[in-house]
Amino acid sequence: MKNILKIVLVLNSLFLLYLHKSGDLQAQSELGLRRQIESAFVLLRNESSLIPIQNLDKTKIHILNIGNAKTPHFTEMCKNYTVIFQDNFTLDDFLKMSSNDNKSLINRELKIIPIINPDSLTSKEKSLIDTLALQKNTIICFFARAEKLNYFKNINQANGLILAHQADSLTQNLAAQLLFGGIGAIGRLPISVNEFFKRGDGLITQNQFRLKYTIPEEVNWNSQILHQRIDSIGKVVLTEKVAPNCQILVAKNGKIIFHKAYGFHTYAQKHPVKLTDLYDLASVSKVTTALPALMKLHGEGKFNLEASLSDYLPEFKNSNKASLQFRPILAHQAQLVPGLPFWQYTFRRGGYRTWQKHQIDDEFPKSLVKNKTLSGEKSNKFPIKLTGHIYIHKNYKKQIFKYIAKSNLLPKKGYKYSGLAFLLFPNIIEKLTKTDYETYLNKNFYHPLGANTLVYNPLRYFSRSQIIPTENDKIFRKQQIHGTVHDEAAAMMGGVSANAGLFGNANDLVKLTQMYLQKGQYGGKTYINEKSILEFTTCQYCSEGNRRALGFDKPPITEKNRKNASISLDASSESFGHSGFTGTYVWADPKHELILIFLSNRVYPTRNNRKLYQLDIRPTLHQILYDMIKNSTP
């Protein structure tokens, strides 16, 4: 099967050689145009350093379209950075809000007003813009010639004012990136407009405050080669039925240079995958939920890697795991068994085997399960929904902890991957922070990063049509899993765990990963102490043949093992990441400032589909990026 991928790549390379020259000239022309537009932006007002926009978690952002302003490219790029509310705004709206006791939008919330064609605005609309310009937290993006600033008498008092000169799609795209710090402001006003705006005026802002969205040529890669080679991988994923879909994102040097979705939600091919769709991240949750929290707490001196499990969880004091330290636990060196079949423990003896013979959506077999475990109906005692027809007892989480405490330890010391401890970490984090686990993650990471699709139990926030389905579970839940976590243990924890349970898209996952690459810094904020990032991403027991860092996966130690790995042979020893059972994968390489994210639902319709591994999809994809690095021009 691996030969299929090799043949596709060879044929693709020959085709690229034929097209390379013309494609390269076109891309270089686009790069030149991008640089020209970026350098032409003029930041004329920036009171209180409002631009780039900061504190995304504390700022509700509205784009107010006044008159016939149509800015789809501007709005969509803004949405890449955070949640945006879009309003077609009129004078009546303003008067209504001004008379409201709350006045939240007018006084506190951030208002972005794009002005596309000042000539088409009515006198009332111009007056409305002038009125809004006097309000706090107003940014005006002026997509017109500089002299037309004179159409507005108060525009010089707006908290923020960007002159973009024109309104084409690329200018809109880049203006949005300037607002959020993907690019910096460096332009100067080419003419004197009035007494407020003189020739040579222009404020400077920090470049790449956040991720930039651009083309591969900006990192000296060839767009046509990169797109054709990655497209060939995407085609194999679909034609060989590795998965019904996949989403691939590449970031280099703090710039997103490739992001594309392939295929449909299912093989029925009714719903094309969108870049905004959410995936069940599976074990990628380990490095995106508990791990950032533990790193942060470690940097604050609140979490000790040398502490034992019973230090933070007294209920383990009399277990065989009482003295297990967190350093070997996180490095999968603590003799913990890989996992436990918690769902089977809910059934009476032999009951789960009988249940496996039932058909999808059969009536729940109450006679097969133990008391205080599962129910076919929701009630006060059984409030936690596993699927549409199975509910779990409110105290079953405590039972899971008891099963972990009573489980055997492996007889030999050494590396053995285990997810058990990650079922415990949310409780540990809640005890250390005195904060609800989800609240802590949202407040300290996801919302400040603008990574708002990173959520547990996504059906609380998103429609089912925005979520990629996983397995048609014929073993336990007896239905198509869609919008609830695939992992059985995480599902039995109410969908909130650290071994699995997080959903999200590649655009938000890359923000968290880029923060790791930047040693805990992103968007002007320090999330994690640099020393803690380095500690957790360093191989802990390499001398004993264990490649793992603390929670993170690392490249295999020996060349022989690397040939069977899910990463490129050229990935540096500094690199780190993780993969997930559902077909997800994130890998970061600090040496090359490189991030690869691959998301798929390879378990649809069944987990028995192993073509993702048999065809070496991920290492082949990863190798393409290192080949690009080798062949890039300085």
What are the domain boundaries of the chain?
41-209, 341-406
Tell whether the torsion through CA atoms of 149, 150, 151 and 157 is positive or negative.
Answer: positive
Q: Among residues 318, 303, 380, which one has the least CA distance to residue 551? A: 303
What's the pLDDT tens digit per position in 563-585? 778 999 999 999 999 999 999 99
**For a pLDDT cut of 70, what percent of the chain falls above it?**
94
Give the Cα separation of 529 and 230 in Å (integer): 35
Question: Residue 480 pairs with which residues in a beta bridge?
Answer: 472
pLDDT at 561: 72
pLDDT at 387: 81
Q: Could you write out the DSSP letters of every residue in 416-452?
A: ----HHHHHHHHHHHHHHTS-HHHHHIIIIIHHHT-T
**Tokens in use for 253?**
């040097």
**For a pLDDT cut of 90, what percent of the chain falls above it?**
84
Q: Among residues 164, 100, 111, 166, which one has the least CA distance to residue 135? A: 111
Please determine, for residue 381, whether its predicted confidence score (pLDDT) is greater than 70.
yes
Using CA atoms, how far residue 424 sits from 498, 533, 578, in Å, is 8, 21, 19
165 — phi, psi (to 5°)?
A: 75, -40
Question: pLDDT band at 103, cuts 50/70/90?
Answer: low
What's the pLDDT tens digit per position in 197-239? 999 999 999 999 999 999 999 999 999 999 999 999 999 999 9
Residue 596: which region, alpha, beta or left (left: phi > 0; alpha: psi -120 to 50)? beta
What's the pLDDT tens digit per position in 323-377? 999 999 999 999 999 999 999 999 999 888 888 888 777 777 788 999 999 998 9
What's the pLDDT tens digit per position in 61-97? 999 999 887 899 999 999 999 999 988 888 888 888 8
- Total residue length of the chain: 634
Question: pLDDT band at 14, cuts 50/70/90?
Answer: very low
Is 612 in contact with 601 (CB distance < 8 Å)?
A: no
**Tokens in use for 76?**
């969509």
Q: Which residue has the tokens 């991403």?
A: 537
Mean pLDDT of 441-460: 98
Q: What is the pTM of this model?
A: 0.95
What's the pLDDT tens digit per position in 408-439? 999 998 999 999 999 999 999 999 999 999 99
pLDDT at 7: 58
Please determine, for residue 101, whether its predicted confidence score (pLDDT) is greater than 80.
no
Using CA atoms, how far residue 105 sits from 56, 92, 96, 243, 264, in Å, is 16, 14, 11, 44, 39
Is 565 in contact with 620 (CB distance < 8 Å)?
A: no
Question: pLDDT band at 176, cuts 50/70/90?
Answer: very high
Residue 190: asked if its preceding bond is cis (omega within 30°), the reply is no
What value does the mean pLDDT of the chain take?
93
Fold of the CATH domain 41-209 = Rossmann fold (3.40.50)
